[in-house]
Amino acid sequence: MRRTIYTLEQYNQAMNLKKEGFGSIRISKLLGIKNESVIDGWINRGTTPLCLLSENYANHQKILDKIKIAKDYPEDLAHIVGLLNGDGHLQIRKDNSSGISFYSKHLQEVQDLDKKFMFLFGIKGRVYKDRREKKGYMLFFHSYELAVFLHSLGIIEGRKTEQEYDVPEWILKGDKGVKSAFLRGIFSAEGFVSRIKLKNNKIRYLAGITQYKNIHIKESCRMYMEQIKNLLAEFGINCSNVHFDRRQKRTHFPDVQGYKFIFEEGSFANFYHHIRFDNEHKNLRMLEVLKRSARSDSN
């Protein structure tokens, strides 16, 4: 028996009429659909018309096909792992509410990642104002297939502060391009460049990274930070010991605190040359320090 194909317009009209308080019998008469059980399925039982099922299948298959090709771009994937394990969120659910989120105070960073996802996976995200920040943005992608694939790369699902994890093995064993891309992502999300005025009025410049973890798994955080530190060492960037930062404490989560390491101005040149940030404000801050150091050396 051939199944009747209803249009997307009919489905949307039915759902709008439901919002106005109409029942399935009345809606079927208004839309001229003789089979009232079809309308009942749409508005009361969550069934989906064939046109939408076909459209969803085509979209899912398109993403699966793009994922196969995306594996040929390991540097881009390593960059995404760094970004999302820094300022992202991954959710995988069987009810198809899976999604990938990324947060940034800078719209340009959000737009750049959106372009990268379109290039790699053929999927365009939605940009929202981030309610957690007065000046922030959230980028959201809805795709179960993509969420599962990103999870397989080592992107953490759920609340990262409560979980133990490492830098993915394929990144640790990757070439310099893969390692640099990952570091660029994680530092763009969680890194900083600071200017500190000392008691003798001299200025000290430093950069580093902070990660937040539940204090009950702080040793796992230390080991994760050691892995990042060791990757930096491969590019000639000398870092301090990983240490608990008493000043970095999240007010809303008293058991979650910050752990960090830093590197001094002497390693800025190697960081800027090999890694950099996605954030141009941080890049310019580091470049200004390098230019000042060059002027001092010339004098």
CATH number, residue 269: 3.10.28.10
pLDDT over 70 for what percent of the chain?
86
Buried b (16+ CB within 10 A) or exposed e, 149-183: bbbebbbbbeebbeeeeebbeebeebeeebbbbbb
The parent domain of residue 123 ranges over 64-158
Q: Confidence band (pLDDT; 50, 70, 90) for 2?
A: very low
Q: Is residue 130 part of a domain?
A: yes
In a shared domain, residues 103 and 153? yes
Mean pLDDT of 260-285: 93
Within this chain, do residues 16 and 111 fall inside the same structural domain, yes or no? no
Residue 275: inside a domain, yes or no?
yes
**Number of structural domains the chain divides into:** 3
In a domain, 52, yes or no: no
Is the pLDDT reported for residue 4 higher than 70? Answer: no
- 109 and 202 in a single domain? The answer is no
In a domain, 171, yes or no: no
Same domain, 110 and 29: no
CA torsion sign for 184, 138, 67, 123 is negative
The pLDDT score that the predictor gives to residue 222 is: 92
pLDDT tens-place string over residues 117-134 = 999 999 888 888 876 666
Distance, CA of 259 to CA of 246 (rounded, Å): 9
Mark whether 282 and 200 lie in a shared domain: yes
Query: Based on the domain organization, do 196 and 253 belong to the same domain?
Result: yes
Strand order in the sheet with 243-249: 191-197, 203-214, 256-264, 243-249
Q: What is the pLDDT of residues 164-216, one digit of tens each?
A: 999 999 999 999 999 999 999 999 999 999 888 777 778 888 999 999 889 89
In this structure, is residue 88 part of a structural domain? yes
CA distance linking residue 264 with residue 245, whole number of Å: 17
169: in domain = no
pLDDT tens digits, 148-157 = 999 999 999 9
User: Are 195 and 293 part of one and the same domain?
Assistant: yes
Q: How confident is the model at residue 113 (pLDDT cuts 50, 70, 90)?
A: very high
Please indicate, yes or no, whether residues 23 and 121 belong to a single structural domain of this protein.
no
Judge whether 168 lies within some domain.
no
**Range in 152-156, 227-231, 285-289 the model is least confident about:** 285-289
pLDDT of the residue at 1: 40
> pTM here?
0.78
Q: Would the CA dihedral through 64, 66, 72, 75 be positive or negative? A: negative
Q: HEC states along the chain?
A: CCCCCCCHHHHHHHHHHHHCCCCHHHHHHHHCCCCHHHHHHHHHCCCCCHHHHHHHHHHHHHHHHHHHHHCCCHHHHHHHHHHHHHHEEEECCCCCCCEEEEEECCHHHHHHHHHHHHHHHCCCCEEEECCCCCCCEEEEECCHHHHHHHHHHCCCECCHHHCCCCCCHHHHCCCHHHHHHHHHHHHHHHEEEEEEECCCCCEEEEEEEEEEEEHHHHHHHHHHHHHHHHHHHCCCCCECCCEEEEEEECCCCCCEEEEEEEEEHHHHHHHHHHCCCCCHHHHHHHHHHHHHHHHHHHC
Is 197 in the same domain as 289?
yes
Q: Does 245 score more than 80 pLDDT? A: no
Answer yes or no: do 251 and 293 share one domain: yes
Asked if residue 201 and residue 149 are part of one domain, the reply reads: no
| Residue 149 counted as domain residue | yes
pLDDT classification of 116: cutoffs 50, 70, 90: very high
Q: Whole-number mean pLDDT of the chain?
A: 86
Q: Which residues 6+ apart lie within 8 Å of 22 measured at CB?
A: 30
pLDDT tens digits, 43-99 = 887 776 655 544 455 567 788 888 999 999 999 999 999 999 999 999 887 655 678
Type of residue at 80: I
* Per-residue model confidence (pLDDT) at position 186: 97
Same domain, 43 and 69: no
